[in-house]
Structure 1
Amino acid sequence: MALFLYISLKMWQEMAKYGRKLVEHGLVESNFGNISVRAGDRIVITRSGTALDEITGDNIVEVGIRDTSSLDMIASSEAVVHREIYRRTSVLAIIHAHCPYSVVESLLAGPGNVIVPVDSEGQYFLGDIPVVGGGIGSSELAKNLADSLSGHRGAVVFSHGTFATGRTLGEAYIVTTQLEHSCRVKYLYDLAVQK
C-alpha cells in the first residue's frame, strides 16, 4: 500500500509540474487541456475542469484502460480518447493542449490532411503532422487519434489542439512544444512569403 501511495504521489507531482509549464508557456489556457499517465492497466488523468497550473492529488482520477466506470463522469471529457490511445499504442503518457498556432494551422490544413513543417527540427523529429477530425471526447476522435498516433508522436485535432505522446510526461511535453514551434514557424513563414 505504501508503494502505491508513493507512486500515486509521484504521478500527480509530475502532472502538476508539466501542467504549470504548459500554462506558463502559453500552450494551454489554465482550465483547458488534460494530462494522463498509464500505470499498468489503469490511467491516472486530470479531472474535468482542472486548472493545469493548479494540479493537486485531488485533481486527478484513476480509471481503467479496458472498461469505463462511474469515475469517468469526473475524469477529463477526453478520457475516452486517452483510453483508446493507450489501448492501441505503447505510449505511457499523453498531453492534450490547446496550442494557438497548432490550432490555426489545423484550420488552414483541414481534417484528414497534414501540416508539413518547414523547420528542420520539425521535419526531423515530427515529420508530417496529422490533422484529425472528430468531436471533443467522442469515440470518432478517439479512433482517429489512435490511428494517427500509432505512427506519429503527435497530432493536431482540427480546430481543437494537440495530442502528444511519450514514454514519460517529459517526452510528451517536448513533443507538444515541438508541434507548436513548427506550427508557429510555418505560420510566420507562410505569412512572410505571401507579401
Structure 2
Amino acid sequence: MWREISRIGKKLVENGLVESHFGNISVRVGDRMLITRSGCALDEITEDMVVEVSVDGSCALDMIASSETVVHRAIYSNTPALAIVHAHCPFAVTLSLLEESESITPADSEGQYFLGEVPIVKGGIGSDELAQNLAAALASHKTAIIYSHGTFATGKVLEEAYVLTTQVEHSCKIKYWYDLAKKK
C-alpha cells in the first residue's frame, strides 16, 4: 500500500497541487490507518515514510505521523472514507482567503456536477477544532477547503481522493479567473 501512497504523492507534486514537503496522505485498513510521516517529501515517499496508527485513538507512533493525524482520525470515524488526500492547492487556498461565504460554488460545469458546493472550514493545523469541523463537512461532501491552508478530499480509494483534489483545484482556478474577468 505504501507504493500507492508514494504514487499519489508524486502525482500531487508533479501537477503543482502541493509543494514537496506539504500535505499528507492516508488509507484506512480496518481499525488502522497508514499515513505519511510528518515532514516527509510527498514526491519521495518510501516504505519507512508511512506509519501505521490506530483510527480509534492515539498511539506511540503519533509522534512521527503527520501533524494532521487527528484530523484523518476524525474523518475516518465520521464518514465512509477509506482514503484521504490533503494538499495545499494554491488556487483553493487563494479562494478560501478571498471568499466571504462559508463555501465555494464552482463556476465550471464539471465542478458543479462532480463537486457541488465546496465547504470552507476553519481550525488550526492539526487541532481538535479542525478535526471536528472538517469531519462534519466531509460527512456530506467529498471535498472541503481549510481556510488559508488547503484541501481535503476523500474516497473509497486513493485515486478517487486524488481526482477530487485535482477537480477542486481546477474549479478554484476557473472561478478565480472568471471572478477576475467579471471585475473588468
TM-score > 0.5 by shorter chain: yes
Q: Which residue in 2 is equivalent to 1:143?
A: 132
Structure 2 residue corresponding to 1:105, chosen from 86, 95, 99: 95
Offset at 1:109?
1.6
Q: Which residue in 1 is equivalent to 2:116?
A: 127
User: SS of the residue aligned with 2:21?
Assistant: coil
Structure 1: tracts of 5 or more residues without a match: 1-10
Work out the number of aligned pairs and report it.
184
Whole-Å Cα distance in 1 between the matches of residues 69 and 105 of structure 2? 28
Whole-Å Cα distance in 2 between the matches of residues 173 and 128 of structure 1? 18
Structure 1 residue corresponding to 2:163, chosen from 152, 166, 174: 174
Q: Could you report, residue by residue, the CA deviation over 1:26-63 in whole angstroms, capped at 9, with x for unpaired residues?
A: 00000000000000000100000010000010101000
Q: Could you report, residue by residue, the CA deviation over 1:74-116 in whole angstroms, capped at 9, with x for unpaired residues?
A: 0000000000000001110000000000000100125x70001
User: SS of the residue aligned with 2:66?
Assistant: coil
Offset at 1:70?
1.2
Q: Which residue in 2 is equivalent to 1:5?
A: none
User: SS of the residue aligned with 1:90?
Assistant: coil
Whole-Å Cα distance in 1 between the matches of residues 99 and 133 of structure 2? 16
Whole-Å Cα distance in 1 between the matches of residues 63 and 154 of structure 2? 24
Q: Which residue in 2 is equivalent to 1:4?
A: none
Offset at 1:67?
1.3
Q: Which residue in 2 is equivalent to 1:50?
A: 40
Structure 1 residue corresponding to 2:53, chosen from 63, 72, 75: 63
AA paired with 2:87?
Answer: A
Matched, 1:25 2:9: no
TM-score normalised to the size of structure 1? 0.93
Which portions of structure 1, spanning 4 or more consecutive aligned residues, are displaced by more than 4 angstroms? none
Q: Which residue in 2 is equivalent to 1:75?
A: 65
Whole-Å Cα distance in 2 between the matches of residues 87 and 132 of structure 1? 18
Whole-Å Cα distance in 1 between the matches of residues 117 and 142 of structure 2? 10
AA paired with 2:127?
Answer: S
TM-score normalised to the size of structure 2? 0.99
User: SS of the residue aligned with 1:44?
Assistant: strand
Structure 2 residue corresponding to 1:155, chosen from 144, 147, 169: 144
Q: Could you report, residue by residue, the CA deviation over 1:154-194 in whole angstroms, capped at 9, with x for unpaired residues?
A: 00000000000000000000000000000000000001111
Structure 1 residue corresponding to 2:177, chosen from 159, 184, 188: 188
